[in-house]
Every structure is written in C-alpha cells, then in structure tokens.
Amino acid sequence: MLRKLASRPDPQIALALTAGLRLFYSAMAAAFLPFLHPDPALIHTNALTDNLPAPHGLHYALLGIWERFDTLWYLRIAQHGYDLPMAVIFYPLYSAAIRVGSWFLPATVAALFISTVAAFFFFWGLLRLAPSSLTSRGRIRMLLLVAVWPASFVLFAGYAESLTIALIVWAVIFARENSWVWATLCGLLAGLGRPSGVLVAVPLCVLALRSRRTASLAALLTPLGLLGYWGWLRWSGRLSVVAAYRLYQRMALAPPWMGVWESVRAPIAQHDALLAIRLGLIILVLALSLRREVRIEDKLFALAVILQMVVYAGRPAPGTVRYLLPVYPAFLSLGSYADAHWSGKKFSFYFVAFGFFNLAWMRAFLDWSLVV
C-alpha cells in the first residue's frame, strides 16, 4: 500500500496522510477517554477551565476532549478578543482563522478543521522541499517519521502549530521559486501565528541575497507581521508579550548561554526523565539540521528556532518538544538519513519508538497532566 501511495502526486500523498492521521488521532482520543482520570485540582490550576464540557458522550469524545490548555485560549480570543491580560501570549492569526471559521462551523470544529487543513499543506510542502536524491520510499518514510514525532499530534489539535509551520514551509518554497510576493505574505502571516513564525525571515533573507532580484527586497518586510502585533499591543495599552510571559508563565528572557546551561542542568538536577528526553530531542534536531547536505539557509533557520527555545529562563517544560516541530530541515535530513542507512526493521523500530512517545505525550495532554 505504501509503495502504491509513493507513486501518487505529492498533494494526494499529503491528503492521504492527513486524512489518515485525522481519523487516527480522533479515534485515539476517544479510546483514551475511559482511561482519563484528571485531578480536578490540577485542571483548575489552568486558566479558563470553569466551564469545561462534561466528559461524557460522543460529542465530548470527538470534540470536547480536545479543549485543553492553549486551545481554550484560542477559542476565547476568537470569541471575546484580547479581554484578559495573559491572552497576549497567544498570537492572533489562529484565533482570527477560528473566528472566520465559526461563521460556518462550531468553534471547536473550526479550530480542528483549520489545523487539519494546515497539516495537509505542511506535509505537501515537505514533499516539495525534499531533496531530489530522496527516493519515493524515502519521501514516505520522511512523512511517517514526522507523523509520529513526539508531540506531533499537536498538528491536529486546537493549536497554532500546523498553521504556522505550513506558512513557514511555503514561504521557503515560494522564495526558492522567486515568487517573492507570496513568500513575503506567508512570512508575514507566520509571524502572526507563533513567535517562531517570524524566524522564517532568516532563510528568506539568505535566499533574497542569493537571488539578487529587486523583487526579493520584499523579504525584508517579513518581520512586520510580528512587529505589527507588538505595536498594536503597545498602542492599545496592553501588556507586552515579554511582560506577560514573565508575569504569567514565570519565564524571562536570558542570554543564550544561560538558557543552554539551564536546559542541560535541569534534567540532571531534577532527575526528570521527561526533561532528559526533551534535551535529547533538541540535540537530535540540532545534529540533523547541521548535517553537511543541509542548505545554509535551513541550518540558520534551525539554529534560530532552537536559540529562541532556550532564551527563556525559568521552567524548561518537557511539553515544549512541540517547539521543535517548525524545524523542517531536521525532518528533511532525517528522511534522507533513514532512506540511505535504515533497513526496514530499523525504520520500524524508530517509527514505533517515536510513536510511543507521541501517544504517551498525547495521553498526558488529554489527562491535563502535561502542558504541551
């Protein structure tokens, strides 16, 4: 079946994977439901949990079970705007998309639908960016490894990740094709999706310098999405994003070397296996992104994303493995490596190992015991 799928056009491959994963994660969430026993005290340490849907019935199994953590904030912002100080942490693009989608669908359905469509474009974009040396088998392996990467279920949850990552990937695609208006538009929107979105300006500027075309100067406008949001917060008298992180998340900006030290020190000092896994995944993503065959603009982007992860001092939360998902160069590199060096048995081993951690993170997320 995989061999037959590999012969299909890229959009069909991405669509088949997206549809399969949407069904799989929805079924897994429903299957986990009888085994979820969240601590009410733990739930109510999170904001916006006063009016959660009752945890029973088909509607809850398919939709309400996804209303967790950040999803609650995006749904609230879509309905009420930035009426609470902490809301400024959540960038506006995804909530705005939910607000538009809720003209036609219930808000939670709209949120999951938007994430699913964005995941399709992310998978399609990865296939477009895949090196020509990658075989058809390697392309499928690359997508399957992305599908089971720890915390990749977030791509199908009510989070802004898939929308932001899709915009990042397609900004790079358009830039490599010298479609600078589209590349800049995707970059601007990515900066409104999540903080990591603005970092696509790094590969766009490298590609613009390489192209030496006047039209490529549009890439310099990419940061205006994020800067426009920050400017609106200041103009409207709201907290800055940095201040909100400090007040509500106990996280403050720190020099990169301090962030690196804390990421290394915390798993040892706290004897925390989840933090150790997080550190291992960061190292793996960094190593994959710096392989010789990875393009220079992709290496710089990966370094920028990882640097952004570690400049916040405070709690190096294990759930932040999802912050590695935008590092598309690592997945392209992993696909190439798996294609060249892994036998079928070795690929199956890593597929199952990554999948195990992904589902373990998903169950903890649904049980309110792990912020993802």
The arithmetic mean of pLDDT across residues 286-306, rounded, is 95
Band (274; pLDDT cuts 50, 70, 90): confident
Enter the tokens of residue 259. Answer: 């962030």
Longest dimension (CA), the chain: 59
Candidate ranges 32-36, 92-96, 262-266; pick with highest mean pLDDT: 92-96
Model pLDDT for residues 109-148, shown as the tens digit of each residue: 999 999 999 999 999 999 999 988 889 989 999 999 999 9
Residue 96: what pLDDT?
98
Contact 83, 95 (CB under 8 A): no
* Two structure tokens written together for 151: 């915390």
Residues 272, 65, 78, 147, CA torsion sign: positive
Domain residue ranges of the chain, discontinuous segments joined by + = 2-366
How far, in Å, are 228, 294, 321 from residue 289 at the CA level?
30, 7, 16
- What is the rounded distance in angstroms from the CA atom of residue 179 to the CA atom of residue 182? 6
Confidence bin at 54 (pLDDT 50/70/90): confident
pLDDT of residue 94: 98
**Cβ-Cβ contacts under 8 Å for 3 (sequence gap 6 or more):** 137
Give the mean pLDDT of the chain.
91
Model confidence at 227, pLDDT cuts 50, 70, 90, reads very high
Does the structure show a pLDDT above 70 at 315? no
Q: What is the pLDDT of residues 33-48, one digit of tens each?
A: 999 988 888 887 788 8
For the cut 90, the answer to whether the pLDDT of residue 319 exceeds it is no
pLDDT at 260 over 80: no
pLDDT of residue 318: 52
CA 243 to CA 233: how far, in whole Å? 11
pLDDT exceeds 70 at position 17: yes
CB neighbours of residue 125 within 10 Å: 23
Q: Do 339 and 367 form a contact (C-beta atoms < 8 A)?
A: no
User: Where do we find the tokens 């992860």?
Assistant: 309
* Separation of alpha carbons 307 and 227, rounded Å: 19
Name the DSSP class of 102. Answer: T
Tens-digit pLDDT profile for residues 160-204:
999 999 999 999 999 999 999 999 999 999 999 999 999 999 999
Mean pLDDT of 270-285: 85
Instruction: For residues 150-166, give the mean pLDDT.
Output: 97
Do 150 and 354 touch, CB atoms closer than 8 A?
yes
Three-class secondary structure of residue 367 per DSSP: coil
| Distance of alpha carbon 339 from alpha carbon 293, whole angstroms | 14
Q: Which residue has the higher pLDDT, 267 or 127?
A: 127
